Structure formats: C-alpha cells, structure tokens
Amino acid sequence: MVKAGLEDIVAAESSICDVDGTAGRLIYRGYDIHDLAENSTFEEVIYLLWFGQLPTKSELDKLTKDLNSNRALPKPVIDALHNYPKKALPMEVLRTAVSMLSMYDPDGDDNSIPASTRKATRLMAQFPTIVAYWDCIRNGRDLKAPKEDLTIAANFLYMLKGETPDEVSTKSLDIALILHADHELNASTFAGRVAAATLTDMYSAVVAAIGTLKGPLHGGANQEVIKMLIEINDPEKAKAYVEKKLAEHQKMMGFGHRVYKTEDPRAHHLRIMSEELGKRLKDERWYKMSREIEEVVFKQKGLYANVDFYSASVYYMLGIPIDLFTPIFAISRMSGWAAHILEQLSNNRLIRPRADYTGARNLKYAAITSR
Ligand SMILES: CC(C)(COP(=O)(O)OP(=O)(O)OC[C@H]1O[C@@H](n2cnc3c(N)ncnc32)[C@H](O)[C@@H]1OP(=O)(O)O)[C@@H](O)C(=O)NCCC(=O)NCCS
C-alpha cells in the first residue's frame, strides 16, 4: 500500500541524527540536542555531524580555520549578485549563487569523499557571505569583508549589519544554528541524498536541498509565522485571530510535524530565547502573542509548536529581515546536508523507488486530426 508523503517509510540507514517523535527527543551522533544547545557551539556541531564525534581542541581549531578562511566569494560571483534583480528572493539568490560557485571550486569535478568534504567546507563558509551580501546589495549598503576572527554566527551578523554584534545576539543565533543543523530525513536532506546518490557533485545535491527547503511546508514556515504575528500585532487579539483561522480550516504555520507527536525539543530553547530577547528589548509583544497562539492551537487542535514557530520571533527581535529567516535555516542546515551527502557517498546505491501506476492502459494512439 502506498503511504502518502512516504510517512514512516524508512529510506536509509544513518548514524547522523535520530528523531524520536514519541518521546520528543532529537539526537546528533549520540548527543541530545538539549546538551548541545546548552554547552556546544555551532562549529563544534558541524565537526560532530561531519566526522562523527566531538572534536579535540586541535581538530576544532583546524576546522574553524578552514571555515573562517574560506568565507570570501570569487569576484565573478559578487559581480553576478550585483546583477540580480533587486526583488529576487534571498532563497532564489542563495540557490543560484551556490550553483554558480561550483564553477569556481578548486576541486573541480573531483567528487571523491576528501574533495567533497572540502567542497562542503567552502559552501559552509560561503553560505552566510552570500546571504549577508545579498541583503547589503539589494539595500545599497557597502559589503563588509568577512572577519576571520569571528565565529560563524558573529561574522554573519557583522557582515549583515556592518557592526560587531553583542554577545547576546551572537549566542542566540549560535544556539539557533545548532538547533536547525540536522533533522534526519527531512524533505530537503532527502532531496540532497537522492541527488547525491546519482553520483552528481556536492553543489548539485546542495542546490536540490536549497530548492526543497524554500517551500512553506518546510523551511519557509518561519517567514509565514512572523507575517502572522505582525498582522495580529497585539497579544489581546491573538486568541480571536487563531480561532477564526482554525474555524476556516486554515493551517497554522509553525505548528504540527510529520514525526513529532509531542513537543519539538527545539521549540523549547527557542521559546526561552524569544522570552529573554523580548525582556531585553522591553517589548514582549512577540513572545506573548506566540504563547497565546500556542495555547489556543494546542487546546483546539492538539498541535504543538515546531522549530519554526519561535525561531520567527527570535530572528525578528535580532533585527534580521524577514525574508532572511529561511536562508538562515539553510546556513545551519548546510551542515546536516553535507553530513548526509557524505554519508550517502560513502555507501552509495542509486535511490530509485517505484510508483503505483493508477493511469489508463491499453489505449490506442489516434492521429491528431481525429482526437
Ligand atoms: C509540518 C506539516 C507539513 C506536516 O504535515 P503532515 O505530516 O503531512 O500532516 P498533515 O498536513 O497531513 O496534517 C494532519 C492533520 O493535522 C492538521 N494539521 C497539521 N498541521 C496543521 C497546522 N499547522 N495547522 C492546522 N492544522 C494542521 C491537518 O489539517 C490534518 O488534519 P485532518 O486530518 O483533519 O485533515 C504540517 O503540520 C504543516 O503544514 N504545518 C505547517 C507548516 C510548518 O510549520 N512547517 C514547518 C515544519 S518544521
């Protein structure tokens, strides 16, 4: 029997990430996401996902150096960014720029595991530069050269805003990047693995993943959430707004999940961050509205908030433009995509499922003049 949307179908063996939807647990390479969110850094998590264990100090130093020294974009790619239409969506820009970058990669068409790992490192380093530069270019701001002494989170905020960010903003973004880094066979990762399994290159597989993440049922949901919060704009009005939407059988963005039947463990951290950032800014509107919405949706539909619900208010309070929310998800998920693509390549078999044919049979061709 066909399972619509491949629900609960196991399509790969993987040692990267485990999602326990009943217990609400998320594990990267054996480590609970709560432990990583509280104690780790995004750079450490990248190492963990790619190489299977937490790094020693020297291993982390080496990866950090590789990541930080590869942030610059080739000049033709920067020139191309300047030529894109200013209304281009940041996810379109990211998808297109990544595709272009493949033509400038020094490893060329070498798709061995070591070369693919180097390509992943360059992509991981260049994703934030593309996103920040695009926002500067479309708004007529000067481009800041990346700073090698800053972490991925701090350097991204620096390139985006033109000034070194404060510790709270950097830490908040770093935790958000850890939380979004991997999630087993989510749609974009699956797309990336399907592409990789044809033995295409790292860039092609990542382009497939970016295009898949863009959809509102996947990474695009966080942007829809903040648009909804802005539309409501007042915690007092949140309950009535949600009740009306649910009565009209509309989907509430940022709620529900294919795998989690309980709270998404990532939402827990983002909810706390949303509350803390609100207090710090002395504007708790976004957090209060979110809480109100969460209660009504749970009472009426039994649905829990997912990772996209509270990340929306967190990014908004960090002063990040709304249409960069999904690209930030992509910056983080690039780490998980690469881990999965490398895992696929290390034990590859073409992914080629079957379809249950439901169309007509035995029709006879009729000439166009007689149809
Ligand atoms: C994540 C999502 C795509 C999972 O989809 P899925 O596993 O295919 O689940 P379905 O869309 O089939 O939903 C199952 C039921 O729950 C309801 N439901 C699921 N998510 C809902 C939501 N966000 N708002 C309202 N109802 C929802 C559906 O209407 C459906 O009800 P029905 O059986 O009465 O028709 C879905 O929950 C969704 O669209 N959420 C909003 C988008 C979002 O936040 N995406 C980010 C995911 S991290």
- Give 176's contacts (C-beta < 8 A, 6+ positions apart): 270, 273, 311, 314, 315, 328, 332
Please give the pLDDT value at position 216: 87
Please give the pLDDT value at position 1: 83
Report the pocket of ligand 1 as residue ranges, CB < 6 Å. 5, 217, 221, 251-258, 301, 303, 306-308
What are 19's strand-pairing partners? 26
- Ligand 1 centroid to Cα of residue 257, in Å, is 6
Which residue has the least CA distance to atom 47 on ligand 1? 218
Query: At the fourth CATH level, which superfamily is domain 28-217+323-346?
Result: Citrate Synthase, domain 1 (1.10.580.10)
Which residue is catalytic, options 183, 264, 308, 340? 308
Which residue has the least CA distance to atom 27 on ligand 1? 251
- Ligand 1 centroid to Cα of residue 255, in Å, is 7
Phi and psi at residue 305, to the nearest 5°: -70, 145
User: In the chain, which residues fall in CATH 1.10.230.10?
Assistant: 221-317
- Give 192's contacts (C-beta < 8 A, 6+ positions apart): 205, 206, 208, 209, 212, 337, 340, 341
Please give the pLDDT value at position 19: 97
Q: How far apart are CA 318 and CA 274, in angstroms?
A: 10
Q: Specify the pTM.
A: 0.95
Which residue has the least CA distance to atom 28 on ligand 1? 251
- Ligand 1 centroid to Cα of residue 208, in Å, is 23
The domain 221-317 having CATH identifier 1.10.230.10: the answer here is yes
What are the distances in angstroms from CA 110 to CA 26, 105, 113, 195, 200?
34, 10, 9, 16, 10
- Ligand 1 centroid to Cα of residue 300, in Å, is 14
Which residue is catalytic, options 180, 183, 257, 340? 257
User: In the chain, which residues fall in CATH 1.10.580.10?
Assistant: 28-217+323-346
- Ligand 1 centroid to Cα of residue 314, in Å, is 23
Q: Which residues of the chain have pLDDT under 70?
A: none
Please give the pLDDT value at position 330: 98
Q: Among 225, 257, 309, which is best to mutate for testing ligand 1, by the most ligand atoms less than 8 A from CB? A: 257
257 a catalytic residue:
yes
Which residue has the least CA distance to atom 16 on ligand 1? 256
